Chain A
Amino acid sequence: MKYDFIVFGGTGQQGKICSRDLLESGYSVMIAGRNKNAVKKLLKNKKTGFTHINLSDNEEIINAITNSGAEVVVNCAELVFNVPIMRACLKTKKSLTDLGGLQYVTKEQFKLNKDFKNSNILCLTGCGSTPGLLNVVVKHAIENFDKINTIELGFAWDSNIKKFVIPYSMHSIFDEFTQHPVTYHNGKFLKEDRIVCKGTKDFKEVGKQTVYCIVHSEVYSFAKYFRKYGLKNVHYMAGFPEHSAKVIQLLLDLGFSLDKEIEVDGVKFRIVDFTDKVLGRLNIPKGYRETENLWAEINGTKNGKTKKMKVDCIIKTVKGWEDAGSNIDTGRTISIMSQMIKNDLIKEKGVFAPEAVIPHKLFIKELGKREMYVYLDNKRIN
């Protein structure tokens, strides 16, 4: 059987959400992952296939893409696999989407721009919630400006039950919390101190939260795409509710985030993988609901006058998607963007972040269909 999409990391949290969204949109999906049991439900759908994959083996990636016959490759795996999967796409001449690579991997990915262009294929990197959804919404908002000076953006979230549930990939969270945040300041990239670079913000849906500067690819891609608007400053900030931040900090302090191999009971493994597995066993409490508030504040000018604009995207736990919490904004966003590539709605070839090429009005409409609502200056637009 020839599939419409192949989803790498398809048995992980985001891979499952994305695959389900693709299937519910009527497409066929080859799920490539390590844990077939995790996608038992999805495999009941006749349009779904499964292939076991070791992403450390480049040949396996190439074979999986070829054998699936998929037109578009969707990469929901950890960011360390972004470049190997891109190279496999170059070999097989398939376009792809991924969930982003913070700044350091994103930079490496953009180096392949020419190769993708020459191969007449597209790589859309950073297609989750943030980076991803928020980038496109910011691009939409920027159309209201002649010039922009500063963009502050980020996410904040909370839950009705104050119990720790994995917010998103623990690997990514540990990366974000351990690497020096980079900001774009007066037209230059600056390494900041996370402890110093923090503040308190009041959010539309989740109230007051402490926010920290963290390393994120938007700083890099906004500086790249919006420089023509005169953009000088980009700051990215993450807001975790206290009950979640406390757990993350504890695990960091105790060394549970280390990418170091240990041997226990005769088996060698990385500490961070162990942590991920243990936390993955936590049950989502009954009645647990999350609300995520993706946000941006844009400062610039319109017709020579100073202008400010507030962007909010509100994502709540959706009926029928309870086990995904507010993570639907990552897995479903990459699904929407991947569908846009398949349906030939994006003509550009090369390596791009979503804000550069995604048709934003159509995209925002698709978000609305999935109960992800966008507000400009507190006014809902979808």
Chain B
Amino acid sequence: MKKYVVLGGYGIIGRAVVNDLFRFSKNDEIIIAGRDKDKAMNFAKSFNSKRVKYQKIDITNERELINSLIGKDICINCVQYYFNLIIMKACIKARTNYVDLGGMFHMTRKQFELCKEFTTIGRCAILGMGGAPGLSNVLASYAGEKLKRVNSIEIVFADVDYTKYNQFFVLPYSFKTLIEEFTLKPAIFQDGKTKFVEPRSGLKEYNFGKEFGKQKGFLTLHSEIATLSNYFRKKGIRKCEFRVTFPDAFVEKVSLLITLGFSSNENIIFREKDVKVINATTKIMDKLVPKEGVRIKDKEIIRVILNGNKIVDAVTQSNGKISAGVLDTGIPCSIAAQGIVNEKLCKSGVFAPEDAINPVLFFKELKKRDIIIYENGRIIN
């Protein structure tokens, strides 16, 4: 019996990971872990299975974190990326494999510096193994394999949502993540060099076809730029960009909140005590994720375009309870974790998804979960 620890396992993405592990890793133990014991316990109990356990872990307590990871096969990190390094270091001390959802470029680069330590302990870490980064990297490696030269890579994702919401504004995921996409300087790889440009710049319209239509995307900070530019260096890559698309009205509203100062990292004072503006805003905004009980009906497309004309897409649709964007983030992470544990997906060290994942096997696993891969419009899984 293998043992999976899912940190933040009761969070939005963590839940999708746990669901997938429960469904596809039938003989193994899953430990839902996080700082809120009640949330972990309630979610674990919902499976009504001895295989699903829960544990209170304060990840800022190093000893507690290490102890909880000793003897486990893998740590799946679904908490905010600020904690990636702390958790990886704990995995090294506990001699545990590791997978996470990404590190917003800068953190990812720092995480690769731990490669030697993971090699020494004979364990494997895959970084940025959600939808994008993650699935997007594997789409790129799959398509790039078929090309002699890879001059450019563009990655973009888009959503189409048919859900009938009973609220004015719907937050697709954590407000903090959203704000970082809107405010951090995006990295682009241009003329063979990494550059940083203005937030929300590089607006470009993409035509995703009949269902997703035309959508506009702006550049945003993503770790694919750090890893794919390296992976395709030998194939002569000159350009790599990542864009995120949102409806115009959504962009206008979030931009307005930023302009008004609600995303500030500064403090305001209440009763002589400091409160970080962004923390208070996040608390207010995170209530605007779709309410439980709403029947979610949406689809997400992750598109990778190589050399301007080689197009690979991953299309995911919601299962009624969980949105497509959450599924296509949680499922790849779960598949990779199972791969590491069962099939020795990677040897020892720290890897980007394109270095560790076999695209064909991976796409087969995605197919089992109704995530469809298209190559220039043709289904390939």
Contacts and interface: CB of A to CB of B under 8 A. Distances in A.
Interface string A280-300: 011000000000000000000
Contacts of B273: 265-267
A161 interface: no
A164 B261 CA distance: 11
Interface in B267-326: 268, 270-271, 273-277, 279-281, 283-285, 287-288
Contacts of B276: 264-265
A371 B276 CA distance: 41
Contacts of B253: 250, 254
A240 interface: no
A255 B260 contact: no
B147 interface: no
A278 B275 contact: no
A381 interface: no
A164 to B, nearest CB: 6
B107 to A, nearest CB: 23
B279 A255 contact: no
Given A253-B168, A256-B262, A265-B273, 17 more contacts: A164-B259, A164-B260, A247-B256, A247-B260, A253-B169, A255-B284, A255-B287, A262-B284, A264-B275, A264-B276, A265-B276, A269-B271, A269-B275, A273-B270, A274-B268, A277-B268, A281-B268
A345 interface: no
A278 B279 contact: no
A334 B275 CA distance: 34
Contacts of B251: none
B268 A250 contact: no
B257 interface: yes
24 contacts: A164-B260, A247-B260, A250-B253, A250-B256, A253-B169, A254-B257, A254-B284, A254-B285, A254-B288, A262-B280, A264-B279, A264-B283, A265-B276, A267-B271, A267-B275, A274-B280, A274-B284, A277-B268, A278-B260, A278-B261, A279-B261, A281-B261, A281-B264, A282-B260
Contact of B169 (A254, A273, A277, A279): A254
A208 interface: no
B260 A279 contact: yes
B284 A267 contact: no
**Size class of the contact patch on chain B:** 20 to 34
A274 B264 CA distance: 13
Contacts of A253: 168-169
Nearest to A264: B280
Residue picked from A164, A254, A279, most chain B C-beta under 10 Å: A254
A364 interface: no
A105 interface: no
A271 interface: yes
A255 B281 CA distance: 10
A254 B253 CA distance: 10
B342 to A, nearest CB: 42
A264 B281 CA distance: 10
B118 to A, nearest CB: 35
A164 B255 CA distance: 13
B306 to A, nearest CB: 39
A277 B280 CA distance: 12
B268 A255 contact: no
A246 interface: yes
Contacts of A274: 268, 270, 275, 280, 284
Contacts of A246: 256
Contact of A265 (B259, B260, B261, B274): B274
Contacts of B284: 254-256, 262, 271, 274
Interface string A227-269: 0000000000000000000110010011110000010111101
Nearest to A255: B284
A265 B275 contact: yes
A256 B279 CA distance: 14
A256 B288 CA distance: 12
A26 B314 CA distance: 74
B168 to A, nearest CB: 4
A273 B270 CA distance: 9
A164 B287 CA distance: 25
B254 to A, nearest CB: 10
A226 B56 CA distance: 68
Contacts of B259: 164
Contacts of A266: 273
A255 B275 contact: no
Contacts of A269: 270-271, 275, 280
A277 B287 CA distance: 21
Contacts of A279: 260-261
Nearest to B262: A278
Contacts of A277: 268, 270
Considering the complex of A and B, which 7 residue pairs feature the smallest CB-CB distances, nearest first? Answer: A253-B168, A269-B270, A264-B280, A267-B273, A277-B268, A265-B275, A267-B270
A281 B268 CA distance: 9
Interface string B193-212: 00000000000000000000
A269 B268 CA distance: 12
Given A254-B169, A255-B288, A265 B279 contact: yes
Interface string A151-182: 00000000000001000000000000000000
A282 B264 CA distance: 12
Given A256-B284, A264-B280, A264-B283, A250 B275 contact: no
B250 to A, nearest CB: 11
Contacts of B279: 264-265
A246 B253 CA distance: 9
Nearest to A283: B261
Contacts of B287: 255
A255 B286 CA distance: 11
A298 to B, nearest CB: 38
A262 B275 contact: no
A271 to B, nearest CB: 6
